[in-house]
Amino acid sequence: MRNSGPIRVLLRTFHITDYQQMLKRLIIVVSFLMPLTLALAEQNQVEIQAWLKKMHSAVHGLNYEGIFVYSQHNQLSSMKIIHSVDDKGEHERLISMDGSGREVIRDNNKVTCYLPDRHSVVVEKSPPGNNFPPRFPIDIRSLEKNYYLSLAGKGKVAGYISQKITILPKDKFRYGYHLWVEEKTGLLLKTHLVVEDDTPIEQFMFTQLRFHNKIPETLLQPGVDSSKFKWYESPTKKQQAPGKIKINWRVKKLPAGFHRDMERMTTLPENLMPVEHLIFSDGLATVSVFIEDMMDSENNLRGGSHMGAVHAFGRAVADHYVTVIGEVPYVTVKMIGESIMADGKISKKQ
């Protein structure tokens, strides 16, 4: 039976011939479908790009007021927003409705935070990292390097028909997003920040919304009496102490797609001295690095911590204390925090 060749050869020839025919058919089908698949993918990309561009224009160019809810770490907060655009630029007022009386007034790139519960006011020279409503980039090409983007049907939010856009990460260093964009204006009405199994860990949603032709200036003024508050204003340039070496800070290892987006000095109510603030971004996710002189304090974070979607990592580096914080997975802040190092050379940048 070992040499019963004709039957084996016949069967083998049949299987080879059958396989070759199937392979030819498969090649023909794939050759036919590939251009169609690529065309659909390209069309999908064009549509998403158009939605992102529309969303970007809406958040900067519309007059509206509304109430939105923000859910994180099993806590729900509500805020009122008034947004205006005129010949002087962009203006915005955020009012906390949780009883703290906190307000944020934005006048173009100047941001003033009123904190009645701390009897203080913080003035920043550029917008803070967390914007409400959340804002997203319009360059889909840069996002596609680290995210999968797709359109996912339509729904209703605050009474408005909205297009759903899904943005899912390609690795473990960032979260995913589900966005609902108002069909006519492009305003972002709802977001879900999701982890790997698509579970929402943070949600933002308008519950009430009205569009206006014009917003009265009186509605953009703070409703807080800050005459007796302590004011903290960030310096325009880093104030270097006489004789002190200017340290350049470098991060040896960053997750794919992240780059240094900004460097500035900021002042926090808890700190007497300005704090150096580095910002890293992949175009969507943002990580902040705060660097301050080492002081005897038991409040400094050592190791990791988190509250909802926000993770933090802290450690001592070269007589300084470094805190990395961002709305990203813990592995991201840990990587950045462990790889940041000080270069003691005097910087030429003044």
Q: Do domains 1-232 and 234-343 have the same CATH topology?
A: no
CATH 2.50.20.10 for domain 1-232: yes
307 to 55, 201, 315: CA distances (angstroms): 29, 10, 18
298 vs 121: which has the higher pLDDT: 121
Token pair 């561009």: residue:
53
3-state secondary structure of 257: coil
Cα separations in angstroms, 232 against 124, 272, 275 = 9, 9, 12
Between residues 214 and 297, the one the model is more confident about: 214
For residue 105, the model assigns a pLDDT of: 93
- What pLDDT does 36 receive? 43
Residues 213-237, mean pLDDT to the nearest whole number: 86
Q: What percent of the chain has pLDDT over 70?
A: 73
**In one letter, which amino acid is 28?**
I
Query: Do 105 and 222 touch, CB atoms closer than 8 A?
Result: yes
- pLDDT winner (highest mean) among 95-109, 127-141, 207-221, 296-310: 207-221
Of 292, 285, 202, 289, nearest to 247 by C-alpha is 292
The pLDDT of residue 292 = 84
- For the chain, give the mean pLDDT: 80
Express each pLDDT in 74-110 by its tens digit: 788 899 999 999 999 999 999 999 888 899 999 988 8
Taking the chain, what is the end-to-end CA distance rounded to the nearest angstrom? 90
Q: How confident is the model at residue 345 (pLDDT cuts 50, 70, 90)?
A: low
Position with higher pLDDT, 2 vs 324: 324
Q: How confident is the model at residue 38 (pLDDT cuts 50, 70, 90)?
A: very low
Cα–Cα nearest to 308, from 97, 70, 89, 94 = 70
CA distance 321 to 316: 5
Among the four given CATH numbers 3.30.710.10, 3.30.200.100, 3.30.200.20, 3.90.550.10, the one describing domain 234-343: 3.30.200.100
Q: Where do the domains of the chain lie?
A: 1-232, 234-343
pLDDT band at residue 137 under the 50/70/90 scheme: low
Cβ-Cβ contacts under 8 Å for 283 (sequence gap 6 or more): 137, 139, 142, 143, 146, 257
Q: Which of 104, 147, 143, 111 has the alpha carbon at shortest distance from 127?
A: 111
**Predicted local confidence at residue 13, as pLDDT:** 41
Query: Bigger pLDDT: 131 or 344?
Result: 344
pLDDT for residue 33 = 53
Q: How many CB atoms sit inside 10 A of residue 137's CB? A: 14
Q: What pTM did the predictor assign?
A: 0.76
What confidence tier does 133 reach under pLDDT thresholds 50, 70, 90?
low
pLDDT of residue 28: 47
Rounded CA-CA distance 134/322 in Å is 26
Distance, in Å, from the CA atom of 311 to the CA atom of 231, rounded to the nearest integer, reads 28
